[in-house]
Structure 1
């Protein structure tokens, strides 16, 4: 299901998978992609669980000590996420039927959670499995823009967004199967097929990371918060929504963080000004041209966009964007 917030439930704990990837480049080969995934999980020298078992808004791993079964629903899933999940459930059947018809296979729907044969806390909710084959099927409902810019590669490869690659690898670990097919309904009317083969090394990394994460659950102990995760600040706002009115003295580390924040803010402003200046120079070079081609391929386009008025006055503006060559970073 698209933008899953995958619900793998055990002991009242909802584990919402989302791999936090520092490198988002689209990989050109499956070997390159898998090397990148493994580097992001291992080479940074941080616990694997912080990357692979990353909680969407860290409700379980960052909340103060509480009974294991306490799941604050308002923190776990936003209304928008719930709606996406509901749409995903409805369209899942359609995607599965289209896949079965195209490839002339019988699919089996599973009405209970699958459990890893050695690790009872490692579970999965499979969309479908293929009868007579050691192959599973995951159905995704994907927006056309997300498909174009979201890390999807050539059809029939395993070049899929990293969180989906890791989800399939998790299911391969739980099931022991040889491959997991990802069927993506793009834009509501096109079925694209991808296939993730079993990678023993990646499966082992995931098993290790989940074991590490589960130990925190058993101890009712929060792992360290990943301050670079995009949901870190929203989470902290939910953890500490009010003010006690108290004045406290911060440790010396806080002063270092203060100056680091000022430095990063200054650098970000400089980078933004530099990017705007480069854009202005390119616009100047193009003049009124509609397309400007770069010597090494790719180019910029200028197109007049008219925005109809509704609650604000109508306006006209120039849409200016870069079109990269396939595989090139925009």
Structure 2
């Protein structure tokens, strides 16, 4: 079944594009909804869809992604010989209207698409496990979401690492995964977004919660027995946190004593940690490597 074209994006201003994105779940939302995103939470997606997420200001990293997208697309074609096409539409699943896709490129003649990424050298390990090529989980979920919406057979991912290392991967369509994604996305859309019931919050939501409730009022709330597990977990993790923090400080101070006034320490021939003076004259301790 062919995907629907919800809107032509060529002449849309940015704010209009954002409004259309609120009409459903996009590929970049999926990992957060299933709890597998390193960058955002299901709660942030929920706030975005109901129009209550604080606006994200443009920044140099976002601009770099936009500027380098056509460069990386051309690089992909040069490396693979595979031609790509821009698709200036927001696509919609023909049956599950809450599933949207705003793709980077389409591969004519292959029933496939291309997702383009630009990342830093620090994220190299996201794409390699030793010498083995891997694909971050977020992008596997994103690609299968797109394949569901456009009924595609596979999806390519092209990434520029550190501004110079070009890599590309292929993600094959996973029918079992797609079926599960449809169920999870449908439940999220119908049970949370449409019903205005926020999903459970987590560790990534500190700033969002603080922004939602910036001021206190001289009242109180009674936490019911139904939330016993939450209360117990808070108390248990507080005890564990204090013990862990104390143990960390103990271990750190022992290493500091070994370092003395040296700013670098090596372990088995590799940089292990630093204890450098900053401009304010304070020494800052950082762990660089692991065992």
TM-score by length of 2: 0.74
Native 8 Å contact 2:43 2:200 kept in 1? no
Q: Distance in 2 between the 1:14 and 1:7 partners?
A: 12
Between 120-129 and 245-254, report the one with greater CA deviation: 245-254
Q: Distance in 2 between the 1:222 and 1:186 partners?
A: 39
How has the CA–CA distance of structure 1 residues 206 and 229 changed in structure 2, closer, same or farther, with 3 Å as cutoff?
farther
Corresponding residue number in structure 1 for 2:56:
78
How has the CA–CA distance of structure 1 residues 196 and 256 changed in structure 2, closer, same or farther, with 3 Å as cutoff?
closer
Is 1:129 aligned to 2:129, yes or no? no
The 5-angstrom pairing of residues 200-239 of structure 1 reads 200-216=175-191, 220-231=194-205, 233-239=206-212
Q: Distance in 2 between the 1:172 and 1:18 partners?
A: 13
Native 8 Å contact 1:18 1:56 kept in 2? no
Q: Secondary structure at the match of 2:289?
A: strand
The Cα shift of 1:253 comes to: 5.0
Q: Distance in 1 between the 2:218 and 2:273 partners?
A: 53
Q: Distance in 2 between the 1:275 and 1:107 partners?
A: 51
The Cα shift of 1:125 comes to: 0.8
Corresponding residue number in structure 2 for 1:328:
none
Native 8 Å contact 1:181 1:195 kept in 2? yes
What's the CA shift string for 1:172-198, capped at 9, x where partnerless? 111222221111111122211122111
Q: Distance in 2 between the 1:292 and 1:182 partners?
A: 36
Q: Secondary structure at the match of 1:244?
A: coil
Is 1:322 aligned to 2:285, yes or no? no
How has the CA–CA distance of structure 1 residues 97 and 291 changed in structure 2, closer, same or farther, with 3 Å as cutoff?
same
Q: Distance in 1 between the 2:45 and 2:196 partners?
A: 7
Native 8 Å contact 1:57 1:76 kept in 2? no
TM-score by length of 1: 0.66
Q: Distance in 2 between the 1:264 and 1:129 partners?
A: 47
Question: Please, what is the CA RMSD of the aligned residues?
Answer: 3.8
Is 1:246 aligned to 2:219, yes or no? yes
Corresponding residue number in structure 1 for 2:155:
180
Native 8 Å contact 1:114 1:175 kept in 2? yes
Q: Secondary structure at the match of 2:185?
A: helix
How has the CA–CA distance of structure 1 residues 50 and 97 changed in structure 2, closer, same or farther, with 3 Å as cutoff?
closer
Q: Aligned to 2:35, which of 51, 62, 68? A: 51
**Aligned residue pairs, count:** 271
